[in-house]
Every structure is written in structure tokens, then in C-alpha cells.
Amino acid sequence: MTDERSQFAGRRYISLETYRRNGTPVRTPVWFVEQNGELMFYTMAASGKAKRLGRDRRVRVAPCDARGTVEGGWAAGTARPLQGEEAHQADTMLDRKYGWQRGLIRLLVHLRGRPRAAYAIRLG
């Protein structure tokens, strides 16, 4: 059996599975960082995944490629929103991990004036 946490080490993407109101799963590849046993990511505050997480914090995650093709085992977890210093720390860590690519995404998001939301996933 694959260790739930170690399979994410060195990976660039996770497939994040959230759930619609009717229970249908929706999978999305996202950039992430790990700290203190949690997987942290950012998304647009008005995105479908943010809306789904507002209703249901249950998630499943698996390592994947940029297109979302799963490359490991699924792990169940619970997402929670990050705010304040925790959100800032996740932001800094993501900048460090993804470099200029994340800088470009941040610039585009800033120019559009859309708010972002940060989350942490605790596995298990």
C-alpha cells in the first residue's frame, strides 16, 4: 500500500477531487505545497472547486500530471480554508516551488482583480 503522504514528495501536481451537491466527483489538477502534514493550494475564490469546498470539505487527492492523469493512489482528506499568516505562508511557499510560472499566473490574476482563496488538506 502506498504511503499517503510520501507519494506527494517531489510532485508538481495533485488531482483534487471535490463533490457537487448531488455527490458527483469533480477532479482538477492543482499546484500544491506540503507543510506540517497538510497539502496547501490556492484557487480563485469564485471557482467551482471553492464553491464545492464551501458546501462539502471532504476531498480525495492523488499525484497527477499537468493534465490531471492520476499517477498514484487516492487519499481521502478534509480541506479547510487558510487565512492570515497561514495563507501568506502557503503563498510564499508556492512562489518558491513554482518560480516564474507562478509569478506569471499571479500577475494575470491581479490584473483581472479576482480574489483568491487558500486551502489546506489534512489527509486521513
Whether residue 76 is predicted with pLDDT greater than 60 in this model: the reply is: yes
Work out the average pLDDT over 71-96: 96
Residue 78 C-alpha cell reads as: 478534509
**Which of 10, 79, 92, 97 is CA-nearest to residue 38?**
79
* Ordered DSSP codes for 41-108: EEEETTSHHHHHHHH--EEEEEEE-TT--B-S--EEEEEEEE-HHHHHHHHHHHHHHHHHHHHHHHHH
For 28-58, how does the pLDDT look when each residue is reduced to its tens digit (9 = 90+)? 999 999 999 999 999 999 999 999 999 999 9
pLDDT of 3: 65
Whether residue 107 is predicted with pLDDT greater than 90 in this model: the reply is: no
pTM (predicted TM-score): 0.90
CA dist., res. 70 & res. 33, Å (int)? 18
Residue 29 C-alpha cell reads as: 489538477
* CA-based torsion, 47, 15, 124, 118: positive or negative: negative
Q: Average pLDDT, whole number, for the chain?
A: 93
Pair 22, 41: CB distance under 8 Å: no
Question: Higher confidence at residue 95 or residue 111?
Answer: 95
Work out the average pLDDT over 64-75: 96
Domains parsed from the chain with CATH numbers: 6-123 (2.30.110.10)
- Classify the phi-psi angles of 38: left when phi > 0, otherwise alpha if psi is within -120 to 50, otherwise beta: beta
pLDDT band at residue 14 under the 50/70/90 scheme: very high
pLDDT band at residue 1 under the 50/70/90 scheme: very low
